[in-house]
Amino acid sequence: MRYQNLARWLKHSAKAVILLLSVTGCDDLATLADPNAHLPPCVEQNCDCGDFVSQDLAQLVLDEFQGDPYYLDGDGNGRACERLPQSTPALDWETYFSNNPHIALGNPSHAGQENIDNYIIDREQYVLAYSQSHGVLRWASWVLSRDWVGQTERQNDFRPDGILPKGTYQVTPGDYTNSGYDRGHMVPSADRTFSKKDNSATFLMTNIFPQTPENNRGPWKELENYCRDLLYQHNKTLYIIGGVYGQKQTIAKDRVIPPSRTWKVIIIFDGEATIDNVTYDTEVIAVDMPNGDRLDEQWQLYQTSIDRIELATGYDLLSDVPDAIQIDIEARLSDY
């Protein structure tokens, strides 16, 4: 675990050095740098203790802003969110490898089939990592191209996912009843309309998470529509990774923990979504937004960088992309 944390630190240090070397002067540095690049994305809205995966991250924010504007230090002892784990959990050892094109750019959490809180589900339609203790996915990854869209109607067949190991609690559609949350798709139904089988796969409850109506029907929906506009109007192919983190008050008799944040990374291709086609010129959209009830309709206001999503989640996105290219595109502040 110690060596994995060291590797993560070296990776982000290398990114910082390369970014600095690419800038020729102090004035340019001030112009190009994101002033919050070292902080998790919630600082652009309103952080609370549920938005952090570790006390270290919460402390970073507390120490950054005088006067504790986010009320992270309730007892005034100088320590933020003391009930959180001290450090961001190290990634599991990478033990699962797949030729599935939906995970061609990397396995963000090193999900496998040993850890039920980081359990990989590898399907023809998408790949995702599931957390039993939260009752929701951690992330999902999928390719959106013309091969996956057609005229199939929405199936609406929400149901438990029998692929989970025996003894695992099967979240049901009824677990969301009267919870105040929508049954939000991570892989959208409208991204899988080529066949009934493909569309139906998006209604398995492992692909569903408790999403506030304001998020689901607001900027999140607008971003999903924008992705399909890139496909239909501009003939692009997209490699999409979306996920959740943080936690709010539990539902379903404590079996499901709604996330406090939702995020999405979109890699935009003119051709196939493969590693060989990722270059320094590859365009990327990165968004991180609250799973709350006061959101702006414009998803563009929630843009960030892949680096900051990695900081907030502890994941290693695009890990199979060559290091130099990965460092470059992950440091960029999304600007659409």
* Cβ atoms within 10 Å of 145's Cβ, excluding its own: 19
Asked if 183 and 177 count as a contact pair (C-beta separation under 8 A), the reply is no
Chain center to CA of 131: 14
The active-site residue, picked from 102, 110, 134, 185, is 185
Give the separation between CA 127 and CA 106, rounded to whole angstroms.
11
Q: Are 167 and 188 in contact, with CB atoms under 8 Å apart?
A: no
Q: How far is CA 156 from CA 8, 130, 159, 185, 216, in A?
A: 41, 21, 9, 11, 16
What are the structure tokens assigned to 16, written together?
């910082």
Closest to 123 measured CA to CA, from 169, 170, 186: 186
Q: How far apart are CA 62 and CA 155, in angstroms?
A: 46
- Residue 185 appears among annotated catalytic residues: yes
Q: Which amino acid is at 151?
A: Q
With beta carbons less than 8 A apart as the criterion, state whether 108 and 96 touch.
no
DSSP 315: -
Distance, CA of 3 to CA of 6 (rounded, Å):
5
Which sequence positions are flagged as catalytic?
A: 185
